[in-house]
Amino acid sequence: MKSYIFPGQGSQFVGMGKELYESSNELKGLFESANDLIGFRITDLMFSGSDEDLRQTNVTQPAIFIHSVIVARSLGNSFSPAMVAGHSLGEFSALVANNALTFEDGLKLVIARANAMQEACEMNPSAMAAILGLEDSIVEEVCANIEHIVVPANYNCPGQIVISGSVEGVNEACIKLTEAGAKRALPLKVGGAFHSPLMEPAREKLAIAIENTKVNDPSCPVYQNVDAMPHTVPSEIKQNLVAQLTGPVRWTQSVMNMVQDGALSFTELGPGKVLQGLVKKINREAIIESV
């Protein structure tokens, strides 16, 4: 069974999507419709902006989404996934790819999500850090025993968890996790505490936008971040999209469940190859295919 996976924030690069834009009038039209919907020429920033431009949350998220979805569209009839999954933001790309969302509705939600997250970041100073070389249970236990807000946010692969929370909480957790045996505790250059309780204001805003968006019956199951399980019921998909903002990205568990359910190969659609590396660390026997 063939599965497709879609990357999240951090996979962007200057020049992303330019070859696709120039490859056909059909794909160029999709990029231009995205420019119109966003209200500024995001393609200019994608193709020839600066790294700093692409790091702005309100640019990063729609840029990655647009690139990922258009890569899937470029495959034409050869794109027939048996299952899909996306890492954080990538879940929206996955839902367009399996026809649960239209391109336009998906992009509108991504814009609403990016804006809501940016506002939440500005309300509270917050941070994230990557913890390398510790078992999940140890990271969970240390975070649970810290007074300030800090939680596991991304279960990326065995031995790699990202924690998220207040600046004080993340700093204290980094010290205690290093004492507990972590090989490294690396602060991340991000706008704020994604996938933590500090995103509650963003979750409330996005919940309204998602409630007002039509989610169709998907063409194949989507393995969603919050529970790592396959979903095909529109109402469940909506609930999980809302919960995703304050809940952890269970990527390790998602890939393990996809393999258990028959995934034989994984193809990453979008900028970068981050997820390919994570999949290999989760399951060494997984077959990675390129577009």
Task: Report the chain's terminal Cα–Cα distance, integer Å.
Answer: 16
Closest CA to 55 of 45, 68, 40: 45
Active-site pick, 11, 74, 88, 126: 88
Q: Which two tokens stand for residue 284?
A: 């060494």
Would residue 88 show up in a list of annotated catalytic residues for this protein? yes
Cα–Cα distance, 222 to 239 (Å, whole number): 13
How would DSSP label each residue in 256-277?
Answer: HHHHHTT--EEEE-SSSSHHHH
> What sign for the dihedral angle of Cα 37, 39, 45, 47?
positive
Active-site pick, 67, 87, 195, 231: 195
Cα–Cα distance, 271 to 61 (Å, whole number): 12
Which positions are catalytic?
88, 195
